[in-house]
Structures are given as structure tokens and as C-alpha cells.
Structure 1
Amino acid sequence: MASQGARADPIASMHESGESAEGSVAPASAGGVEIGQEGVGADAPLPPGGAPVAELPPAYAQIFQMAFQAQAQAQAQLLAQAQAPTPAPAPAVPTVDRNYERIRKMGATEFEGTLDPEVAERWWEKVEDVMNLVGCTPENRLKYIVSLFVGNALIWWRSLKRAYEPREITWAEFQREFDDKYRPKMYRDKKRMEFLNLVQGDEQTVAEYELRFAALAKYAQKR
């Protein structure tokens, strides 16, 4: 019976065994990583996105920094240009019309006005020839001829110009006004009769007759 009393209590043995095991229990693991291991476990901080970010090499970091600086400088220049005041346009340089000088060199003389229709007609025909050589348009003919007026002719022109204001006088109107002033109708009618009665005289050569015919032909039509 003594041997039965000395038999070990199984409950007590388990309690003692459990205390011994509790002191030496190995830490639990999850997926092969020991939970609770400092710096590696679930409590370790992760970068944004949940994945570690590798640091750029120093050479790449320097390239990116230079690119950012260049972009900042370009933006600053564009901003400065946008804020800069717009420069005023350069004043237009007036062109010099050389034809005023050319027509004088080619024989067009100043006109002071005259009471002799023959003088006025010779002056007009000479100026017309010069204008044809220069290649003047009707608009330019008016301003070039008027530039030759002096004295009484210039006074007449200024008065005529005021009479047509506020509009500009045309070349055709100017021709008619010039004829009425310096080659009046009486004179033109006389020349027309000379043309109609023109015959070759006994002492007149054919060349002289043709020249006279051409000079009077412009009066053939009554105006």
C-alpha cells in the first residue's frame, strides 16, 4: 500500500510541466517571420503604397535637380516676357516721291498762268509728254502738274480746290477746268475751224501739211 501512496499525482505533474513549458515557449511565427521580432514584424512601419522604395543613385538625383532648375528658369523667363510692356511700333518713315524731281529734269517747267492760249497749250503738251515718259497714273498726273503751279496759277488752283470740297477733284474735272481757264471755248472753236478748212498749200510740203494736221486733229471733235 505504501507503494501506491508514493505514486506521483498526474494532475500535479501536468501543472508543473505546464509551468516549465510556459517559461520556455518559442515565439509564434506567421509566414516564417517571428511576430514580435523588433524591426521586422507587423508593427514595423512601411513606406506609402506598402512597398519599400529604393533610393535613386546620386547621379540620377543630380540630373533631376538640374532638369527642375532649367524648367523653373524657363517659366520665370516666360512670366517676365508676359509681364513686360509691349513696345510701341516704330513710326512709319515717309517715302520720298522722286518723280517730282524727275519731271523737272525731263523738261517740265513751272507754270505761272498766262492770257495767251497758245502759251498755255504748249506748256500743257510738254508736261503731258513728260508724264507719259514717267508713266504717271491719272491720279499722279494731277498732283505732279499742280506741283508746277506758281504765282497766279497756284492762286487759281487753290480756289478751284476749295470749290470742290469736301471731295477731291478728279483728273477729268481738272482737265476741263484748265481748258476753260487757259484754253477757252472761243480758242478751241477757232482751232477746230482751222482743222476743218485745212488744205495743203502750193508752197507747203507734204511733211509740213502732215505736221499741221496732227497739231489740229485734237480739235476735230467739238467740246
Structure 2
Amino acid sequence: MQMLVQNQGNNNNNPPPRPPVNNLTLFLRLNPPVFSSSTEPIVADDWLRKIGRELGTAGCTDAEMVRFAAHQLDGPAASWWENYTTTYPIATITWDQFQHAFRTTHVSAGAMSLKKHEFRNLFQGNCTVGQYVDEFSQLACYAPGDVATDATKQEKFLEGLNNELGMLKVR
């Protein structure tokens, strides 16, 4: 009897098991945006980037990312997804495949090319440094190869600064 009491006392030192995490609840608490359609292809790309951040914040697995992002599609975009999943079983679709298929359908290559060109031609001009930083950050995602390393990103940023500020470049 004494051993039973002693064993029960030892079990009380162990914390209770953590309840299972419901990633869908965590994801939905972040109020992720819904996407239906847009005449502006960059809006679709921005939605996909935002959803990706929210899914990462919620700690979702690859399969959950696909299911939860699809959950946030509405109207024409939801119809596109339903048609897509008749060809490709949802259980086999990875997050990378989802992103690629989504961009192929909702984001024109021409719009992405224009944004890349806009980034490559970005200069501070009459903007404040803060405004230039904001614009640089917004456009850099459209030219990932141009800012693949911290060094190339810094170089591109400094090249775009006005001459008086550009002279501050560290060599």
C-alpha cells in the first residue's frame, strides 16, 4: 500500500501531457485574408505571400498549408481549386505545388516581369530614405535572384540611393 502511495506521489511530479495543437484554430485566429479574384495580378500574389506567412506563424505542416490556404479561397478562386483537385488528388499536393499552380492561374507572368523590371530600375529620386526602403522591400520579392544574398541586396540598395547618400557606400 505504501508503494502505491509513493508511486502516485512520483506521478504527480510529471506535468500532464500537453493537449494536441489545433493548427486550424491557430491559423484562423490570425484572421487570414480570403481570396476570390482580382483584376490586379499582384493582389493575388500578395494574398499568397500573406497566407504563407500566416500558415508559417500557425506552425502548419505542408499538407495543412495546402488545405488551410484552399479553405481561404472563395468564388472563382474556389471554383478553380475544385477543378484543380479533380485532376490532382489533394492529399498529394505540396505547398510548393499549390503556390506554383495558384500563381500560374491567378498571377500573370507579364505582371511579375513588370514588377521585376520596376525593382531593377528603382532609384531613390525625390523619395525620403524611409520611402525608398519601403519601396525597395515591397519590390525585392519580385526579383529574388537579384537579392539572393545579403551582399547583393545591400549592393542593389546602395546603388539606388541618391548620389550624396550613395557616396556613403562601404567598400
TM-score interval, normalised by the smaller of the two chains: 0.5 to 0.7
SS at match of 1:201: coil
**Cα 1:153/1:132, change in 2 over 3 Å:** same
Shift of residue 123, structure 1, vs aligned partner: 2.1
The match for 2:153 is: none
**What's the C-alpha RMSD, in Å, of the aligned pairs?**
2.4
The match for 2:108 is: 184
**Cα 1:97/1:117, change in 2 over 3 Å:** farther
- Aligned-partner residue type, residue 111 of structure 1: F
Counterparts of 2:71 and 2:142, CA distance in 1? 27
SS at match of 1:177: helix
Counterparts of 2:94 and 2:27, CA distance in 1? 21
Aligned residues: 127
The match for 1:152 is: 76
Counterparts of 1:125 and 1:191, CA distance in 2? 15
Highest CA radius of gyration, 1 or 2?
1
Counterparts of 1:100 and 1:113, CA distance in 2? 23
Q: 1:210 aligns with which of 130, 133, 147?
A: 133
Q: Is the 8 A contact 1:188 1:219 kept in 2?
A: yes
**Cα 1:212/1:101, change in 2 over 3 Å:** same
The match for 2:143 is: 220
Shift of residue 200, structure 1, vs aligned partner: 0.5
Structure 1 segments of 4+ aligned residues over 6 angstroms from their partners: none
Query: For structure 2, which runs of at least 5 residues remain unmatched after alignment?
Result: 1-19, 146-171
Query: For structure 1, which runs of at least 5 residues remain unmatched after alignment?
Result: 1-95
SS at match of 2:115: helix
Counterparts of 2:99 and 2:90, CA distance in 1? 19
Shift of residue 155, structure 1, vs aligned partner: 0.9
**Cα 1:185/1:174, change in 2 over 3 Å:** same
Q: Is the 8 A contact 2:66 2:93 kept in 1?
A: no
The match for 1:86 is: none
Among the aligned pairs, what percent are the same residue?
A: 29
Shift of residue 196, structure 1, vs aligned partner: 0.5
Q: Is the 8 A contact 1:161 1:168 kept in 2?
A: no
Counterparts of 2:91 and 2:67, CA distance in 1? 15
Deviation track 1:50-96 (CA, whole Å, cap 9, x = no partner) reads xxxxxxxxxxxxxxxxxxxxxxxxxxxxxxxxxxxxxxxxxxxxxx9
- Aligned-partner residue type, residue 129 of structure 2: V
The 5-angstrom pairing of residues 22-171 of structure 1 reads 98-165=22-89, 168-171=92-95
Instruction: Give the TM-score taking structure 2 as reference length.
Output: 0.65
Question: Which has more helix, going by share of residues?
Answer: 2
Q: Is the 8 A contact 1:115 1:182 kept in 2?
A: no
